[in-house]
Amino acid sequence: VSIAGARLRQGANMVQIPLMGSSYNLEDLHPDLSGRNSINDMVRRASTIAEEQGPSGEKPSGAFLPAACLSVALGVFSVVPYNMVLQGDPGSPLFISFVLHLVVITMMLPRVPSIIRNRKFPLRYHAGMVFFSSMFTVLKSDAFVRLPPSMCLLLSNLQMMVGVAVQYVLFRKTYSFQQLAGVAIVTVGIAWAGNSIQRAKAQQEAGVLTATAALTGAAEMLGSSLCISLLSTLIKMANSTYGESVEEQMFMQHLLTIPVVFPSNWSKVGPRAAAWWSAQNHWLFLNLAGNVVASFAARKASAAMTARSPSLLMTQLVQTMESFLQLLLTAMLRVPPWPPLGFWGGAGVLVAGTLQYLRASDSSSGKTS
């Protein structure tokens, strides 16, 4: 983890991105002076906050809530064919990612002249997005090979805890006791559910999941959560400063990630493509196509959601909700056997922690580091 942290710091210094500074107002949900601080009131208020304007005075196009709902729905749906592919070939996450990158680039080729002609983001922002996206792809793909998909999805909910740390380190953002309590409750829920799944898995398949694989996979999921939090922060900063440009961000990010990630990992991609072609497993190809189409749409909706989000906290809450729903769907796809009671108990605690974090007021008198 320390090595990954050092590489992230080197990457940020290399591309010279001004991550710190008072010009970026990434505030959380603020309590309403009228006292209306229920969950519905806070979500409604957060989604109607005036969006930050770019230097030309333009606002991000479209509304946040529709983009958030679409992002969650497509992201959850993409889990179904993804799990089907993993059941047929457990070592294929990086190959799936490679195919997805190629499809994204191919689908956007007709728009390339317009994207290049109307480019908004400086190259240093694109370099930062590619770096964090590449690290996220490598770490998450390897974690899905080492750990059961349900455990990976559970660990992805650590993004709330990671997001709190990122905002404090980069922006010296402090949080109230209620908010930190929500993060702690989420962490307890993840640990409880994850421990239950690991025990059940050990009883069914003794020796399959070793302690080394579990620790390595957990560290990789933590690193991927850090990368996606930094990527979301950078996307939010770029769109707030230069105006929304979803297609430019997606095309440049996927195009430049290919030469960074896949040549050094070609042994996990090339032979697998040849093996699939030789086996002529049409069911695998069908599920791969379904996952790629759903993931392409989900990534586009997620990019729009991140660009239009009124705060980094709202982005993290949407991503956490998506991960939780993916977790539930994955658990249901693999029955029987049903997940153990500890899994459902931990999932319930996770939901309670998320709601606690959303309810928490972030008034200046209640903030604490």
pLDDT, residue 251, reads 92
Beta strands 175-176 and 367-368 are antiparallel
pLDDT, residue 105, reads 92
pLDDT, residue 209, reads 60
Q: List residues bridging with 91 in a β-sheet.
A: none
List C-alpha distances in Å: 247 to 104, 115, 251, 307. Answer: 10, 7, 6, 11
pLDDT, residue 243, reads 86
pLDDT, residue 62, reads 57
Question: How confident is the prediction along the chain (369 residues), in pLDDT tens digits per residue?
Answer: 454 455 444 444 434 444 333 333 333 334 444 445 444 454 444 444 334 444 444 444 458 888 888 989 998 998 889 888 888 888 888 899 899 999 989 989 999 999 888 899 999 999 999 999 999 988 988 888 888 776 777 777 777 778 778 878 887 777 778 878 887 887 788 778 767 766 665 555 444 567 787 888 889 988 998 898 888 888 888 888 888 888 898 899 999 999 998 888 888 888 888 888 888 888 889 999 999 999 888 888 888 888 787 777 677 778 777 877 887 787 777 667 777 788 788 888 878 887 777 777 444 334 443
pLDDT, residue 129, reads 93
pLDDT, residue 126, reads 92
pLDDT, residue 21, reads 35
pLDDT, residue 37, reads 47
Q: List all residues 6 or more positions away from 318 whose beta carbon is below 8 Å from its beta carbon.
A: 68, 71, 72, 305, 309
pLDDT, residue 19, reads 38
**Among candidates 75, 84, 157, which has minimal Cα distance to 333?**
84
